[in-house]
């Protein structure tokens, strides 16, 4: 007797065989749903239309720099299912997760969830843009008090979903602690950008205090990586990483390939490889970071 149907993220959940399975009471789940019963260790999950791989990798680096043994994978590199089948020797598991994976995630519950942004994408898969937004927001639906939701406070779609009216129409509500970050020094934000410094409001034994992390001289000192750095810092501070260890690891971060990588400068024109910008939101974000004074920029590859 078939007990469940394990589905690959690339398979649409509405196809006839899966609909027939559900009609027979057979659960249709993806690999993220396995985390509830099999995963050992603390779970961090990162999603968003753009920037997932960079932030997932950066969080892993910051955690390792703080002395933690970390697995990094999911939608990036090694699948979660492969890690679950092994000895599970890491104390923290950091996953990049896609909307397709979240659609079949069951009771997947990250201790720290990170949502970077939402812009139109994969609309050939979803019935509407609103359905895609709901998929991304579902990262947080199983969180409980004590869990942390790190979100981009400048993203209008995320802000709209978090609004009171949107919450009233949702079948679930956020129960984790929401920590928002912003490129502006906005009151009430857990993280904000001030020049080249990230300012984080942290809770300590003596109450709230403000910490500063310098991005100048690191590979993260220009948009959109300044936002990526804020998200990652908030995530690892929620897990107790020390400010000193975080600052040291920021300086040593190696950016992933094909993401605003300088190819060459010819006759005063800088040529960049940003071939991982596969949607409009990614290109818009990258162009927003191209503000070097007196520079001219050439082709995108």
Task: Catalogue the active-site residues.
Answer: 52, 75, 122
Q: In the structure encoding, which two tokens stand for residue 28, read together?
A: 């249709």
Closest CA to 153 of 121, 113, 185: 185
Eight-state DSSP code of residue 184? S
The answer to whether 95 and 46 have CB atoms below 8 angstroms apart is yes
Class of residue 201 by CB neighbours under 10 A (exposed 0-12, middle 13-18, buried 19+)? middle
Long-range contacts of 262-271 (CB under 8 A, 24+ apart): 263/301, 266/298, 268/296, 269/296, 269/297, 269/298, 270/295, 270/296, 270/297, 270/298, 271/297, 271/298, 271/299, 271/301
Task: Check if the beta carbon of residue 74 is closer than 8 Å to that of residue 95.
Answer: yes
The secondary structure of the chain in percent helix, strand, coil, rounded to multiples of 5, reads 30, 25, 45
30 conformational bin, left if phi > 0, alpha if psi -120 to 50, beta if neither: beta
């Amino acid at each position: 007797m078939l007990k469940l149907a394990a589905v690959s993220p690339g398979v649409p959940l509405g196809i006839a065989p899966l609909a027939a399975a559900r009609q027979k009471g057979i659960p249709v789940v993806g690999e993220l749903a396995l985390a509830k019963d099999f995963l050992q260790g603390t779970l961090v999950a990162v999603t968003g239309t753009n920037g997932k791989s960079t932030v997932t990798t950066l969080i892993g680096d910051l955690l390792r720099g703080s002395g933690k043994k970390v697995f990094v994978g999911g939608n990036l590199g090694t699948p979660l299912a492969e890690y679950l089948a092994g000895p599970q020797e890491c104390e923290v598991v950091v996953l990049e997760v896609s909307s397709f994976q979240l659609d079949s995630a069951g009771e997947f519950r990250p201790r720290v969830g990170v949502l970077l942004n939402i812009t139109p994408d994969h609309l050939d898969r979803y019935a509407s843009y609103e359905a895609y937004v709901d998929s991304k927001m579902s990262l947080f639906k199983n969180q409980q008090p004590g869990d942390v939701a790190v979100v981009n406070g400048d993203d209008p779609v995320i802000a709209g979903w978090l609004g009171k009216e949107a919450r009233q129409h949702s079948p679930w509500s956020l129960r984790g602690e929401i920590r928002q970050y912003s490129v502006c020094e906005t009151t009430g934000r857990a993280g904000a950008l001030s020049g080249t410094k990230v300012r984080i409001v942290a809770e300590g034994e003596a109450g709230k205090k403000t910490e500063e992390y310098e991005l100048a001289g690191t590979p993260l000192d220009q948009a959109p990586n300044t936002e990526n750095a804020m998200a990652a810092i908030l995530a690892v501070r929620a897990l107790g990483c020390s400010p000193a260890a975080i600052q040291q690891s920021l300086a040593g971060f190696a950016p992933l390939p094909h993401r605003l990588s300088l190819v060459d400068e010819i006759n005063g024109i800088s040529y960049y490889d940003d071939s991982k910008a596969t949607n409009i939101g990614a290109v818009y974000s990258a162009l927003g970071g191209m503000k070097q004074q007196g520079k001219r920029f050439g082709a995108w590859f």
